[in-house]
Structure 1
Amino acid sequence: MSNHYEAVAVRPLTRAWVGRHLEAGEQIVRTEALHGGITADMRRLTVGTRDGGTRDLVLRSFVDPFYQEHAGDWLNREAGALTLLTGTGVPAPGLVAVDPTAAHCEYPSLLMTHLAGRTILDDEGLEARVPLLARQLVAIHALRPRPAERPREYVTLTTADTVVTPKGADAAAWAAAIDVIRKPAPPCEGRFLHRDFHPGNVLFYVPHPSPAGARITGVVDWAATSWGPADLDVAHCSTNLALLHGPAWGLRFAEAYEDAGGVPAAVASERLYWRVRDALAFSEEVQSVSQPWRETGRTELTTRAVEERLDAYVTALMDALA
């Protein structure tokens, strides 16, 4: 998260709005910036309770004017998703309040409960976490909301003309990959999608000293929730794992999803379409994606290093097709 966000405190109107959604006698006693996001300012609010204890909430505010144009849609979708997920067993935050148009706050905002756990982006313990990620995604896709409760249809913005081929990339592999997404999207059976499912949006509890007992305590950031092919969520997590930990892990996640009972497209070329499309989408935003990773301690993930991993992953996908 940029220094711009770091400087933004909880403003008076927003603080008053939060106060109206607290219990009688409660008040905010501490705020803390949460790092790792790209589009929004995230803060943990520690609330003093009447009995002298504390509890935590999370405030999401769209501060940057660049993202405010879409803030209303994103916040309404997240509020709808959190409401739908209540009682499903998927560990998501609880919705407290939402102000999607900044009618009461300085910025479009959403207030939710705080979940225990932390994001883990390190290589250590990945072997144990990948099956957990896969099982969690299968559980999300198993949700069957009524038609009236379904989120909007998925969208994909990347086109063959917007792909940015990295410098020094395998030109033949990238040209073949771009040709893949020139074709119409394959038909699919709709599923409830998180649409931004990756390790940075999953909270873990890991007992010390062994990572083998890790468990997922929460899935956050439901602002892009959509209805569409399960392969799209699988592809997105696969690309993130490939860039964070190496191309082999991107390929491995798709296998772990099937091992966990997930049902991807039956035809290999259709599965490939979604994986290639998601990987190519990252070509347009490598810098914005890699910066939060470096801020969490993965300093070796420079823009160039991530571009090289993306090239290797795209090449591996195309080799799998051959």
Structure 2
Amino acid sequence: MIEDDVQGWAGTRRWVEGVLAPGERIARVTPLKGGWTSRMRRLDIEGAGTPYALVLRSFVKPFYRRHAPGLLAREARVLRLLEDSAVPAPALRAVDAQGAWCDDPSLVMTHLPGGVRIGHDGDVRRRIALLAGQLAAVHALEVPETGRERAWQAWTAPERVQVPATTGQDALWGRAVDVIRRDAPAHRSCFLHRDFHPGNVLFTGTGEELAVSAVVDWVETSWGPADLDVAHCSTALALLHGAPAGMAFADAYEHAGGQLAAHGPDHLYWRLLDTLAFAPDAHKVAAPWRRLGRTDLTPEILTGRLEDYLQALFDRYA
């Protein structure tokens, strides 16, 4: 069954069908949950041989449509770069970054097995270790200079931080903002995913068989400090599972061979630069997680976890 054209992707579907092999067709379309910046669809392909699946990413929100040419062109370049690497990632099939043929700017890539695992269950510690090892492998990639065209960008600034209205911890938030008023610390740069978190990593198996099957969403890649990628995943883990999980990730990353700033206050800067970008709208970032079943992530829970995490960061790194 093919998804109804009234959903506004008839042109995009024709474009996808144009890149398929002769005799192949889209047999089934399934919306994928978890996306926040873009609309994701699984396309089951049949007709010429063994059935297989593709994933279609389309930027439909006005803000992301405006930035789609750069975002999708970057992701296409990165997927090509990763084809011969040890990092499990989809393979690029086609891209229309400008939306010249599609209803919305789009990219189509191979579908890999596995799914997002964000449950608050007994696998959390094992998932943290696997996430850390995978991120260390991303940072170890040798990227030619032509692939380093975009320097890292901060996603907040002291004057842009909005303290949650429900907080009783104004002094804690103010202390955190003061930390990021300094210039960015000197750092060694590497290839960054820049949006590495549990929602962008697929897993297969359970228990001892649990494994990372794919890392997805490569539109924000840049060149910068490993601490910033570690900070982003740590914040997400703190929101999902509590401050101890957020604090455990950096240790697991170093155990996997990753290198972070040796000076505690420097590392604290990067951790807070990321965490403060979630204030006061962590509940919006968590919307895809709630759609995946984490209905426990209320605004009150998320604010409390951010504050617990801020305090834990100061206790360890200040």
Read off the aligned partner of 1:306 and give its amino acid letter. Answer: L
Query: Conserved in 2, the CA contact under 8 Å of 1:170 and 1:315?
Result: no
Q: Scaled by the length of structure 1, what TM-score is found?
A: 0.94
Read off the aligned partner of 1:115 and give its amino acid letter. Answer: L
Query: Which residue number corresponds to residue 270 of structure 2?
Result: 274
* Structure-2 separation of matches of 1:55 and 1:297: 27
CA deviations on 1:61-83 (whole Å, 9 max, x unpaired) are: 01111321111111011111101
* Structure-1 separation of matches of 2:260 and 2:249: 12
CA deviations on 1:170-228 (whole Å, 9 max, x unpaired) are: 22221111001011111111100000001100000024xxx232000000000101110
CA deviations on 1:132-166 (whole Å, 9 max, x unpaired) are: 11110000000111111224111113011111212
Query: Conserved in 2, the CA contact under 8 Å of 1:294 and 1:302?
Result: no
Query: Conserved in 1, the CA contact under 8 Å of 2:8 and 2:103?
Result: no
Query: Which residue number corresponds to residue 55 of structure 1?
Result: 52
Query: Conserved in 1, the CA contact under 8 Å of 2:267 and 2:317?
Result: no
Query: Which residue number corresponds to residue 115 of structure 1?
Result: 112
Query: Which residue number corresponds to residue 65 of structure 2?
Result: 68
Query: Conserved in 1, the CA contact under 8 Å of 2:155 and 2:274?
Result: no
CA deviations on 1:23-42 (whole Å, 9 max, x unpaired) are: 11000010000011111000
Q: Scaled by the length of structure 2, what TM-score is found?
A: 0.95
Cα deviation, residue 10, structure 1: 6.2
CA deviations on 1:297-320 (whole Å, 9 max, x unpaired) are: 010101221111111111211222
Q: Are 1:191 and 2:194 counterparts?
A: no
* Structure-2 separation of matches of 1:294 and 1:92: 25
Q: Are 1:243 and 2:239 counterparts?
A: yes
* Structure-1 separation of matches of 2:23 and 2:105: 26
Q: Are 1:312 and 2:308 counterparts?
A: yes
Of 259, 262, 282, which residue of structure 2 is paired with 1:263? Answer: 259
Instruction: Point out the more displaced range, 154-163 or 244-253.
Output: 154-163
Read off the aligned partner of 1:119 and give its amino acid letter. Answer: V
Percent identity, aligned pairs only, is 49
Query: Which residue number corresponds to residue 92 of structure 1?
Result: 89
Query: Conserved in 1, the CA contact under 8 Å of 2:189 and 2:223?
Result: yes
Query: Which residue number corresponds to residue 160 of structure 2?
Result: 162
* Structure-2 separation of matches of 1:181 and 1:157: 12
Local SS of the residue matching 1:161? helix
* Structure-2 separation of matches of 1:157 and 1:234: 15
Moved over 3 A (4+): 6-10
* Structure-2 separation of matches of 1:168 and 1:82: 41
* Structure-2 separation of matches of 1:8 and 1:135: 43
Read off the aligned partner of 1:269 and give its amino acid letter. Answer: P
- Give the total of aligned pairs: 313
Local SS of the residue matching 1:182? coil
Read off the aligned partner of 2:14 and give its amino acid letter. Answer: A
* Structure-1 separation of matches of 2:249 and 2:65: 33
Structure 1 runs not aligned, ≥5 long: 1-5
RMSD: 1.5
